[in-house]
Chain A
Amino acid sequence: GAVVSQHPSWVICKSGTSVKIECRSLDFQATTMFWYRQFPKQSLMLMATSNEGSKATYEQGVEKDKFLINHASLTLSTLTVTSAHPEDSSFYICSARDGGQGVAPLHFGNGTRLTVT
């Protein structure tokens, strides 16, 4: 089955620093990947749609200059949280579909728990 690998699983950083999260599709190509954010005991909030070779599409209210997304290849998307602050602490999950559009479900990475001190 389709596997999405996300790294790191957890990271602790100081305020003002930047953190990069990687999302890889291991056995399929993903022209589109999705980045979600989840607060404790809450649902997933779509942050942005990452498009291979072009700019990401951000959801309303998500700061594109703070959450930098790069989708340089068909198997890798990265999310960089720039100048992190404690309020950025959250669980970030990437996902992709095997087969692009169509009926395939989203496959999720294991998530990255970010703690900003």
Chain B
Amino acid sequence: ELKVEQNPLFLSMQEGKNYTIYCNYSTTSDRLYWYRQDPGKSLESLFVLLSNGAVKQEGRLMASLDTKARLSTLHITAAVHDLSATYFCAVLGNGNQFYFGTGTSLTVIP
């Protein structure tokens, strides 16, 4: 069974600070996705990482993938309140299904 774990589960950080969210997965995969979910809303695609060493950046968020370590990171630079949300990583399974991580609930404090 494919397992996807995120760390930390909850994160409270001050505006302007940097932090990294980690996503570990249990099986070989070279396709990893990051999503954002606002309270009561559906999921919004943030990044698609397709190969070892892939790095994508959008605004204050940067995602990377290390397929050998089965690890992806989502780095937050100079956090702002608008980034408060829950972030999920997801791995593509053998049957073309997406398996989601446990989620990281981020709260940015003024």
The answer to whether A34 and B97 touch across the interface, beta carbons within 8 angstroms, is yes
The answer to whether A42 and B97 touch across the interface, beta carbons within 8 angstroms, is no
In the complex, whether B31 has a CB less than 8 A from a CB of chain A is: yes
Bitwise interface map of B from 88 to 100 toward A, beta carbon under 8 Å scored 1, else 0: 1010000111111
Within 8 A of B (CB), among A91-108: 93, 95, 101, 103-108
Bitwise interface map of A from 20 to 45 toward B, beta carbon under 8 Å scored 1, else 0: 00000000000010101000011110
Query: Which of the residues B40, B41, B96, B100 comes within 8 Å of A44, measured between beta carbons?
Result: B100
Query: Which of the residues B33, B97, B100 comes within 8 Å of A105, measured between beta carbons?
Result: B33
- How many angstroms between the C-alpha atoms of A109 and B100 in the bound complex? 16
The answer to whether A105 and B103 touch across the interface, beta carbons within 8 angstroms, is no
Give the residues in chain A near B98, CB-CB below 8 Å.
34, 46, 95, 106
Which single residue of chain B is at the shortest CB-CB distance from A57? B95
Q: Indicate whether A43 sits within 8 Å of B96 (C-beta atoms), given known contacts A105-B33, A105-B48, A110-B41.
A: no
Residues on B facing A (Cβ under 8 Å): 31, 33, 35, 40-45, 48, 50, 88, 90, 95-103, 105
In the complex, whether A78 has a CB less than 8 A from a CB of chain B is: no
- How many angstroms between the C-alpha atoms of A34 and B41 in the bound complex? 17
Residues on A facing B (Cβ under 8 Å): 6, 32, 34, 36, 41-44, 46, 49, 57, 93, 95, 101, 103-111, 113
The answer to whether A46 and B97 touch across the interface, beta carbons within 8 angstroms, is yes
Q: Indicate whether A93 sits within 8 Å of B96 (C-beta atoms), given known contacts A42-B103, A43-B101, A103-B48.
A: no
- How many angstroms between the C-alpha atoms of A43 and B100 in the bound complex? 7
Q: How far is the CB of B42 from the nearest CB of chain A, in Å?
A: 4
- How many angstroms between the C-alpha atoms of A49 and B96 in the bound complex? 9
